[in-house]
Amino acid sequence: MGRPFWRPLDDAAPPFYESASLGDLLRAWWDEPGLQEKAPKEERVRALSRWVEDHERTGAKWVGAKHPLLSLCGEDLLEAWGDKTRWLWSYRPPEQSIRSLTSLGWWPGREEFVQRRLWDAATRFFAGREHLRVQLADLISDPSREVDRIVRYLGVAPTDEQVRAAIRCIRPRT
């Protein structure tokens, strides 16, 4: 998913399993919490193409990306990575995300705006496009089943240890 991973300021906290370098790009392109575009589409597409090419050049067999701001970049991703890209929408209902942001103290008073904007962008992008939806609650309640669904959908052949590692990193959050 693009190591090294971004970590919260608290070094004892687990990583978010989001690429630190991709996250830096996304935050440079989109104002948070206003979610206003700060970089033109052409710049984003070029950088997304380079990001995946860099990972492939290092020998990565599979390249994945996870970050909420990617919801705003659907068409950029399609142009940068091509129509053979496999799309996976990992989500939880917006109300749960709003409660989580509120409990974390992120963007007081803007939690609902942020989550609804990201949800609407993802909904528009995935409408009519082949993808696998993975709800966080299902992932937490039965990680083995959901990891198996993801593996089958993506058409990848991880080792047993890679599957076990994927399952081990799934843990509940608020």
Domain membership of residue 142 (yes or no) is yes
Domain membership of residue 69 (yes or no) is yes
In DSSP notation, 102-133 reads HHHT-STTTHHHHHHHHHHHHHHHHTTS--EE
Domain membership of residue 14 (yes or no) is no
Give me the CATH number covering residue 30: 3.40.50.300
- pLDDT digit string, tens, across residues 84-124: 999 999 999 999 999 988 998 888 999 999 999 999 999 99
Domain membership of residue 12 (yes or no) is no
Q: Which two tokens stand for residue 26?
A: 């996304």
CA nearest neighbour of 80 among 39, 117, 57, 51: 51
Domain membership of residue 9 (yes or no) is no
Domain membership of residue 4 (yes or no) is no
Please give the residue range of the domain that contains residue 80: 20-168
pLDDT mean by block of 10 residues, the chain; 174 residues:
53 65 94 96 98 88 89 97 93 93 90 96 96 95 96 95 90 58
How many other C-beta atoms lie within 10 A of the C-beta of residue 143?
17
In DSSP notation, 26-46 reads HHHHB-TTT--B-S-HHHHHH
Question: Tell me, what's the pLDDT at 64?
Answer: 87
Domain membership of residue 74 (yes or no) is yes
Question: Tell me, what's the pLDDT at 4?
Answer: 55
d(CA 174, CA 22): 24
- Cβ–Cβ under 8 Å, residues 118 and 92: no
Q: How many domains does the chain have?
A: 1
Q: Which two tokens stand for residue 16?
A: 């978010």
Domain membership of residue 6 (yes or no) is no
